[in-house]
Structure 1
Amino acid sequence: MTEMTKPQAGMPDLTAPKLAGAGCLAPRRPRGAAESGGGRYSRLFPGLPPLGPAPAVLIALGREGGVCDGGIAVREATPAAGWPFFGQFIAHDITADRSPLERTEHGAVSNARAPRLNLECLYGGGPAGSPYLFDRDDPAKFLLAPGGKDVPRARQGIAIIGDPRNDSHLIMAAMHLALLKAHNAFVDIARNRGVDEGTLFDAARQALTWHYQWVVTQEFLPSLIGADLVAGILSGRDALPLPEGATLPLEFADAAYRYGHSQIRQSYILSPGGPTLSLFPDLLGFRPVPKDRSVDWRVMFDGAPDVGTQRATRISERLPMALIALPEEVTGAVQEQGYRSLANRDMQRGVVTDLPSGEAVARALGVAPLPRDAIGLQDWSGETPLWFYIAREADTLGEGDHLGPVGGRIVGGVLLSLLQRDPASYLTLEPDWRPEITPLDPTRPFALLDLLMLGADSPNH
């Protein structure tokens, strides 16, 4: 076994880890718990009529120069710049809708992901089902590219990872890589503590998955929807009318959870003092990551002292130019140039899946709808596309920092229900479980930054 690298000051101590006992040493996955596999989408309010505006009307909103075009101006918000990418990672973990933008009967649309926060997009089928993801010489660990600065890639640069969407841009590829390294670090921790080799992979997977789930419940959602709403959902006070089973409502997948697109900046720095790089084309994915473009997560997430952290932009209907004019490498060939706009693609999904208006969903949830002047659409007859409504709600009621009452109920209610209904989640198996990895800053609680930095200092991970 390779000797562990001594951590720098402030780094998590991998040689003497503090892990909740059952979390790493005794993986407790219930017999019969699903590892992977997809399912069908559902509806929160099947009785509500679809809004169904003409696609040409939506394209006018989302095209270059339209209402949704935020240009290159930066309207910074309070949350750190990395959170929309973590939200994107969650989306890839629980959804994979591969249907076309053209109209599809929603009942026939399949979700290629199991709707569980179980890191399926990272683990695939595990060492037995996806052996190409793992190190042949140490199959409990993920395979990394030589030097550990990139995900593994085929000869033509295609990423060999559990979800190819995580290679769409450099920051997502870096987050995927950081979690691969975190898993490998948990393998080392478990091995150093004498875990049997036959259960080593399961122990590390459970440790990483539970830390990830903890971040969702204790850091991500409280910041996005508010701690009071999180508590209300968990207690049942603010629960959604969800159908039985592990399912994803279309109102979530094709509208509410697309809020984070407006939080994306036009450009980023990847390390303290580094150059400013545009999201596209500078950080375009689907190719090997240049050695000088490694992401230092301290500039993306709060939690490290004395490091300037970038901020996300406001949650609103306005997207940066990088997402209004997406490159063909991301969208593929399109017949309608307006579909290079992510805003148009978001709203078109709502048409394809017959989503109701935002006002109708608000009334169904017992929430007073936004007034017309808060929506801000001139020369618009009728009610508002759900995606646009939730974006305006966050901008006006959440000051661009967090979701409003409709968006918050849908996003929080769905994500927390996935954990409550998952027989292998920490909320189900050990609700009092707590992470014990030493934070970068020991004066604060464990945070996502600590998880992403867990394997960053050891080249052997």
Structure 2
Amino acid sequence: MAEQGQFPRVITNLAHGGHAILDSAGQDEQMSPRSAVVQESAGTAAHMGTTSFDYLFPGLADEFPAHHLPQDDVEKVVIALLELGTVMVETQEELRDPQLNSPIPPIYTYWGQFVDHDLTAATDNDKAISITDENLPPIAPDEVIHKLENLRIPALNLDSVYGDGPFAAPVANKDAVPYDGIKFRLGLLSPVPAAAGVLIPPVDDTQRDLPRKADRTPLVGDTRNDENLVVAQLHVAFLRFHNAAVDWVRDNEPEWESDAEVFLRARNLTRWTYQWLCVHDYLRTVARPDVVDRVDTAEGNLLALDRRGTYMPVEFSVAAFRFGHTMVRGAYDWNRNFGRPGDKIAPIATLDQLFQFTGRGGFVGSLPTLPSNWPVEWDRMVDKNSQFANRFARLIDTRLAPPLGEMINEGNDPGLPERIKDLLKHLARRNLLRGYRLAAPTGQAVARELGVVPLSRAELEQGSSDVVRNVLETGGLFDRTPLWFYVLKEAEVRELGRRLGEVGSRIVAETLIGQIRNDPGSYVNQTSWSPARGVLLPSGRPVRTISDFLRFAGVL
């Protein structure tokens, strides 16, 4: 599953949060992992293919609409969802005490975004199932499954990083991930005048941008990883981790002799480390550790392939895994130029700036690559014991930072009606409408299916404004609550916003661990692989945390 040659590994021009609708999808026979590796090594480029979306809880989908949002008055529900989305985004005046942050460092927000891009890819070709139509009734689950297609293999296999690999023959007029031999090519920083800020240590390390074309387009496996500077810098770390793994294999494992052998070994070690960290660091930080342990040690898994084959759960993609949106800060302690009060240029780097200082954002000032005063200082983004409040993600709750209500890189097509522009710029409204359109079950239905006591009305009202209470009441959403909002509210009231609650933890853990189990090339399907059998830090320690990962990559 992790190496199916019919899938595009270099995907460009995707918009955040879109989804692909294809009129017809090919039914090509899936390759075995071995045959795909042979094809890749021989230089055969990937071609178009898709995998399916489906429902993690098929029994709920089969009884549509009994376990879904109200269907009797679609217009009323849509109005309620739009109003609910509006009030979920805080205004500047409503910003809470800055001390009310989660205990989770910001790196976990964007590690989650990177994972999302590795699992799912889509386009804005959503005419068949659109959230911008005037009439927005839910689509029946069978129709969603038939029409909604995923351009990524739903496996944590880093195809968004590796593209077609270093041995693929060039294809005319097709962008490719650039390699220097079996290592990734990196982009160089653009020097800026001293008045614009100091260089970020190590000052002689200029290879800290994504590789780019002359028009600033990133030459990476998924251009969504250049939509904000945090995920772009994380993608750079993955490129550098692989390059360091190549050196490590050559220095420590002489049994791998040819370039092809060294590349494949380094890629496996990079993938397995990433997958292991997703379970043992990422999941155990953002979700309830007891739930993760239960899912990780269970014999079965909700994501059983059985009759459905390889698929991505709707409940995960359009609801539960969007919990990371509430963790996004409006500003970050980014580096010594744009971080703490007293730093050289400004006390904060705003989220808007982190969108502007990407290729898509134009690097403000028309530089061809990332300015030398803007690389991240990862130590400010990974410390779980930091004394600084703005070195943590926001709480996992039902409130989003103000910039997510006016996303500067979205909805800018001058040909769009103002109503559509406003919707595309507003993340919470988009999330709620998409969940409704794609027939995500209610939070209460999923809780009951999992044997979890659903949130009570009192819990749904707890900490909610009068406006939110009124919207839930008038929209009939107290007993049938949108799954995305429910997962956030569960985290807010049952875990104090410090991590996902039981329902959110189950959906996310079952999906990520299930995809790893279902991938025959993953670390769990090797013979007793653990980080102790992977690359080692200069001290001899294994890579067991995301901080270790960044350290081995040479960026921390």
Q: TM-score, normalised by structure 1?
A: 0.84
Compute the displacement of 1:296 (Å).
1.4
Does residue 96 of the first structure (1) align with residue 135 of the second (2)?
Answer: no
Between 1:74-83 and 1:298-307, the stretch displaced more is 298-307
In structure 2, the partner of 1:18 is: none
What's the counterpart of residue 406 of structure 2? 325
**Does residue 229 in structure 1 map to residue 254 in structure 2?**
no
Match of 1:447 in 2: 545
Contact 2:288 2:502 in 1 (8 A): no
Q: Give 1:59's aligned residue.
A: 82
- The Cα of 1:170 is off from its aligned counterpart by 0.7
Query: Which residue of the other structure, out of 250, 265, 271, is the alignment partner of 2:335?
Result: 271
- Superposition deviation, residue 202 in structure 1: 0.7
Identity %: 30
Q: Displacement, 1:373? A: 2.3
1:133 to 151, 158, 177: 177
Question: In 2 relative to 1, CA 455–222 (structure 1 residues): closer, same or farther, beyond 3 Å?
Answer: closer
Please list every run of 5 or more consecutive structure 1 residues that lacks an aligned counterpart in the other structure: 1-28
- Whole-Å separation in 2 of the counterparts to 1:232 and 1:304: 27
**1:269-418 pair list within 5 angstroms:** 269-272=333-336, 273=340, 274=343, 275-284=347-356, 285=358, 286=360, 287=362, 288-302=369-383, 310-327=391-408, 329-333=409-413, 335=417, 336=419, 337-376=422-461, 377-379=468-470, 380=473, 381-382=476-477, 383-418=480-515
In the TM superposition, residue 232 of structure 1 has moved relative to its aligned partner by: 1.2
**Correspondence for 2:530 among 429, 433, 447:** 433
Structure 1 Cα separation of the partners of residues 388 and 485 of structure 2: 35
Could you tell which deviates more after superposition, 149-158 or 251-260?
A: 149-158
CA distance in 2, matches of 1:130, 1:174: 28
What SS does the corresponding residue of 2:103 show, helix, strand or coil?
Answer: strand
Letter in 1 for 2:265: A
Question: 1:147-158 maps to which residues of 2 (within 5 A)?
Answer: 147-158=206-217
- 2:149 is equivalent to residue 110 of structure 1: yes
Structure 1 residues 115 and 70: CA distance shift in structure 2, 3 A: farther
Query: What's the counterpart of residue 78 of structure 1?
Result: 103
Between structure 1 and structure 2, the one with the greater Rg is 2
Distance in 2 between the 1:208 and 1:453 partners? 14
Aligned equivalents of 1:444, 1:420: Cα separation in 2: 22
Residues 304 and 150 from structure 1, CA distance in 2 versus in 1: closer, same or farther, beyond 3 angstroms?
Answer: farther
C-alpha spacing 1:413/1:76, structure 2 compared with 1 (3 Å) = same
Which residue in the other structure is 1:47 paired with? 62
Q: How many Å separate the matches in 1 of 2:303 and 2:453?
A: 18
**Cα pair 2:50 2:149 within 8 Å, conserved:** yes
3-state DSSP of counterpart to 2:282: helix
Change in Cα spacing, 1:68 to 1:243, as seen in structure 2 (3 Å) is farther
2:234 to 169, 175, 190: 175
What is the aligned-residue RMSD (CA, Å)?
Answer: 2.8
Answer yes or no: is the 8 Å Cα contact 2:410–2:424 preserved in 1: no
Separation (CA, whole Å) in 2 of partners of 1:355 and 1:345: 14
One of 145, 149, 160 as aligned partner of 2:187: 145
TM-score, length basis structure 2: 0.71
1:238–1:409 CA contact under 8 A, matched in 2:
no
Q: Which moved more, 1:164-173 or 1:362-371?
A: 362-371
In the TM superposition, residue 438 of structure 1 has moved relative to its aligned partner by: 5.0
For residues 394-443 of structure 1, what are the alpha-carbon distances to aligned partners after superposition, in whole Å with 9 as ceiling and x for unaligned?
11111111111111110000100011111000111134422455569989
Greater CA drift, 204-213 or 98-107 = 98-107
Match of 2:260 among 198, 210, 218: 198
- Higher-RCO chain (CA-CA 8 Å, sequence separation at least 6): 1
Instruction: Determine the C-alpha separation between the residues in 1 that align with 2:411 and 2:527.
Output: 42
Q: 1:62 to 1:220 in 2, by over 3 A?
A: same
Does the 8 Å CA contact 1:298/1:309 hold for their aligned counterparts?
Answer: no
The amino acid of 1:44's aligned partner reads L
How far, CA to CA, are the matches of 1:303 and 1:78 in structure 2?
7
Contact 2:118–2:152 (CA under 8 A) maintained in structure 1? yes
Equivalent residue for 1:31, pick from 30, 34, 44: 34
**Structure 1 range deviating more: 366-375 or 229-238:** 229-238
**1:146-170 alpha-carbon deviations (Å, 9 max, x no partner):** 3312101111111111101000011
Map of 2:200 onto structure 1: none
State the distance in 2 between where 1:391 and 1:406 align.
Answer: 10
303-312 vs 203-212, greater mean Cα deviation = 303-312
Residue segments in structure 2 that go unaligned for 5+ positions in a row:
1-31, 41-45, 171-175, 189-205, 363-368, 462-467
1:67 offset after TM fit, Å? Answer: 3.5
SS of aligned partner of 1:122 = helix
Q: Deviations over 1:246-304 (max 9, x none)?
A: 32110111000000000011101222555411011354332432210101111111279
Is this contact kept in 2: 1:51–1:357, CA < 8 A? yes
Of residues 123-132 and 104-113 in structure 1, the stretch that sits farther from structure 2 once superposed is: 123-132
1:69 lines up with 2:84 in the alignment? no
Check the 8 A contact 1:42/1:243 in 2, yes or no: no
Q: Is 1:229–1:238's contact at 8 Å kept on the other side of the alignment?
A: no
